């Protein structure tokens, strides 16, 4: 108002307006300025290309012109018919302000105002209003009465549209943010029912929007989390908290339990009355599973560290400070309250290992590579401990070595055990190398992994040559010197079925070089703590000398020392076999007793040496006159026994007669003297009817006795009539005769 007033005064001054006309001039000027400001200024301020383009695109210009014509028509009728016409003329302008945008509304006001002013100035219309005010004083007051409320209405409607547009945009942004959010969002009623849900929430809970709208959040909340959730809801409604965040579990439509991070806020009206909840639900199932796995992993690591005695440490290279966990302090016996440093750690290492530790640390800092080494420390109580260290060097933002992280393991018990095992191993090796038996160790595949020097000598193989080779390719064992070869496994199988003495006495080991050894061996399996076979240890003993001695003793026990012929015990065994075959196989044999004639005379005249020599020569003579499978034995003194297997009586007579004739015709020379000797023989048959040992021995003895007393040089076959009453044999056939 000040600018138009100043303009009116300036115009009155330059146009020399009389004083009487000054007030009407100024008021006229002011009202016109007011009309111009109310009509031209808004249009000028809002004149934009975008506004014209929008008015053309939305065709609001036509509606504006129609409203303008309607307003002019109403104004004309109101001027003609109504006492206060401009009050009615303002109503169409209100309608335009309501229907049209702000630019079109002010254009409408400009058009109507110009038309009214032109009509009033041209006298087309005449105002017919009560003379309440002086028309000379306020000539454009009716136009102002129309424009001021219309402009106010236009501004109010614009503000309303702007507010509604802002609300609509806000709702649109919220709707889009909610609908396309990567996390679940929902509007929840105060009772807990789902009012609106987005797609992410439906995918997370595996419910459709329609299904969720029929449920409440209480129904799909895990029972263990429901109490905490409801308490937070009550605090939120009561105003104790503005919002809350909670990790909780939901039950999906398929029954699966999932974890979510729930953030809830409450929407209130202008009177602080609660309306609904806004919930943001983020799927943290994988995170919870990862946390659970990490927790379990940390539990396992912690348990492993505690069970394994692993200490964790960190060294700040710049500050030279160290951080130890509880186990590290226990390993080094760190006094309570004492601060650990790098120098303290270094001082704990014994002098022999300290320089090595410094070299490892210096090299690790320079190369920035993981490293490990073993050293020894001495605790305050002077106890020596073995430590195994693993560490890595970590760099800073400038890629410089900043700190070192590592672990320490006290393996003193293992080190002591290793030393003890090494000592035991050395003791065992020395023992095995010192004993006189061959020792061969094999694994569960029967492949050789150890041989002592004796085994190398007996087999002819060196340990480095046979390591990893099968035992059957190294050991060549036979039954007897020329018997069949036995694999070690077969040998063990046979040994389990036969008596050890019968088998072991005939085992022969053949060396690679061609030597052979009479052996006895023992194979002992090696088993672990569960009883599983790890391998076996084969011990082979060279029994060549002892076996030869045993064979000699056995031979001496069954043979005559002088003649080398089987003795009475050996003869009795052959006689038992003949009796058994006679009964079991119906075979016929002949039993012969031979007694030398004039042997006592030669023995007495020439001496015992001559008698022994004669017996030896006659033994060889008789062996030449018998079959290979016949059994000739010296029964004692000058008595001999002969078993002729599978021999008929006639054949036996002929063969025995040849023996007696050979003895009679044999000349014995001793000390330039010649001696003659003779012999007598008695024969009896061994058959299925005549198979008693004592009986046949008696029969042969009687027949021999008869032959000797029948003129000597005779061969008599036993006949039952030879047993005359009162006749007594010359000796007991079961007694061993004496020289």
Positions marked active-site: 638
> Residue 672: CB partners within 8 Å, gap ≥ 6?
none
> Residue 256: CB partners within 8 Å, gap ≥ 6?
206
> Residue 69: CB partners within 8 Å, gap ≥ 6?
none
188 with 195: CB under 8 angstroms?
yes
**CB-based burial label for 548 (10 Å; 0-12, 13-18, 19+):** exposed
393 with 363: CB under 8 angstroms?
no
Report the DSSP pairing between strands 715-717 and 485-486.
unpaired
Helix (H, G, I), strand (E, B) or coil at 491: helix
Q: Which two tokens stand for residue 321?
A: 């400070």
Cα separation, 139 vs 376, whole angstroms: 116
Cα separation, 143 vs 90, whole angstroms: 9
Distances (CA, A) of 504 to 288, 351, 471, 485, 499: 72, 60, 19, 14, 9
> Residue 734: CB partners within 8 Å, gap ≥ 6?
694, 697
533 with 526: CB under 8 angstroms?
yes
625: nearest Cα among 603, 592, 579: 592
Cα separation, 308 vs 305, whole angstroms: 5
> Residue 25: CB partners within 8 Å, gap ≥ 6?
8, 11, 12, 17
Cα separation, 643 vs 641, whole angstroms: 7
Q: Which two tokens stand for residue 453?
A: 């020097």
Burial 419-455 (b: 16+ CB within 10 A, else e): eeeeeeeeeeeeebeeeebbbbbbbeebbbebbbebb
Cα separation, 56 vs 42, whole angstroms: 19
């Amino acid at each position: 108002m000040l600018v138009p007033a100043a303009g009116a005064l300036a115009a009155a001054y330059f146009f020399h307006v009389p004083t009487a006309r000054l007030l009407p001039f100024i008021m006229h000027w002011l009202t016109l300025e007011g009309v111009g400001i109310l009509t031209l200024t808004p249009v000028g301020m809002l004149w934009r290309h975008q506004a014209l383009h929008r008015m053309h695109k939305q065709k609001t210009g036509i509606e504006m012109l129609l409203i303008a014509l309607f307003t002019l028509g109403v104004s004309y009728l109101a001027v003609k018919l109504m006492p206060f016409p401009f009050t009615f003329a303002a109503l169409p302008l209100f309608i335009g302000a309501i229907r049209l945008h702000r630019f079109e509304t002010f254009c409408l006001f400009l058009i109507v105002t110009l038309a009214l002013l032109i009509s009033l100035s041209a006298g087309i219309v005449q105002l017919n209003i009560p003379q309440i005010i002086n028309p000379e004083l306020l000539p454009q007051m009716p136009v102002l009465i129309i424009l001021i409320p219309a402009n106010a209405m236009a501004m109010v409607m614009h503000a309303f549209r702007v507010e509604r547009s802002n609300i609509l945009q806000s709702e649109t942004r919220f709707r889009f943010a909610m609908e396309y959010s990567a996390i679940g969002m929902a509007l929840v009623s105060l009772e807990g029912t789902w009012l609106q849900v987005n797609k992410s929430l439906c995918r997370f809970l595996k419910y459709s929007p329609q299904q969720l709208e029929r449920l409440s959040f209480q129904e799909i909340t895990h029972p263990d989390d429901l109490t905490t959730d409801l308490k937070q809801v009550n605090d939120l409604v009561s105003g104790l908290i503005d919002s809350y965040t909670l990790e909780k579990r939901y039950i999906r439509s398929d029954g699966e339990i999932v974890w979510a991070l729930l953030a809830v806020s409450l929407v209130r009206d202008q009177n602080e009355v609660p309306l609904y909840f806004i919930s943001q639900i983020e799927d943290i199932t994988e995170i919870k599973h990862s946390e659970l796995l990490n927790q379990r992993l940390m539990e396992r690591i912690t348990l492993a560290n505690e069970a394994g005695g692993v200490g964790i440490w960190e060294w700040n290279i710049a500050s030279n400070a160290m951080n130890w966990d509880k186990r590290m302090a226990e390993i080094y016996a760190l006094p309570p309250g004492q601060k650990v440093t790098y120098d303290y750690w270094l001082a704990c290492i014994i002098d022999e290992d300290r320089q090595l530790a410094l070299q490892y640390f210096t090299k690790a800092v320079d190369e920035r590579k993981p490293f490990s080494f073993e050293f020894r420390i001495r605790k305050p109580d002077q106890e020596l401990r073995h430590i195994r260290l693993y560490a890595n060097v970590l760099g800073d933002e400038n890629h410089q070595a900043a700190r070192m992280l590592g672990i320490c393991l006290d393996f003193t018990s293992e080190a002591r055990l290793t030393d003890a095992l090494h000592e035991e191993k050395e003791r065992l090796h020395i023992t095995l190398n010192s004993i006189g038996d061959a020792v061969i160790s094999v694994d569960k595949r029967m492949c050789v992994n150890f041989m002592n020097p004796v085994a190398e000598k007996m087999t002819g193989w060196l340990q480095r040559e046979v390591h990893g080779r099968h035992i059957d390719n190294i050991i060549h064992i036979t039954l007897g010197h020329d018997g069949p070869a036995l694999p070690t496994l077969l040998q063990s199988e046979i040994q389990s079925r036969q008596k050890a003495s019968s088998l072991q006495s005939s085992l022969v080991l053949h060396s690679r070089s061609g030597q052979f050894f009479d052996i006895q061996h023992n194979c002992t399996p090696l088993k672990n703590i569960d009883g599983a076979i790890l391998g076996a240890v084969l011990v082979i003993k060279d029994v060549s000398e002892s076996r030869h001695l045993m064979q000699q003793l056995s031979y001496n026990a069954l043979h005559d020392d002088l003649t080398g012929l089987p003795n009475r015990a050996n003869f009795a065994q052959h006689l038992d076999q003949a009796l058994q075959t006679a009964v079991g196989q119906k075979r016929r044999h002949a039993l012969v007793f031979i007694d030398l004639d004039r042997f006592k005379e030669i023995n007495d005249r020439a001496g015992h040496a001559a008698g022994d020599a004669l017996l030896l020569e006659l033994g060889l003579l008789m062996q030449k006159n018998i079959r290979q499978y016949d059994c000739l034995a010296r029964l004692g003194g000058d008595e001999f026994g002969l078993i002729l297997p599978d021999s008929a009586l006639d054949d036996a007579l002929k063969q025995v007669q040849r023996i007696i004739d050979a003895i009679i015709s044999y000349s014995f020379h001793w000390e330039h003297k010649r001696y003659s000797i003779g012999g007598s023989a008695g024969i009896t048959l061994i058959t299925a009817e005549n198979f008693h040992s004592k009986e046949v021995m008696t029969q042969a003895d009687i027949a021999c006795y008869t032959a000797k007393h029948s003129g000597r040089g005779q061969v008599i076959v036993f006949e039952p009539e030879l047993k005359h009453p009162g006749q007594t044999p010359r000796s007991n056939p079961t007694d061993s005769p004496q020289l």
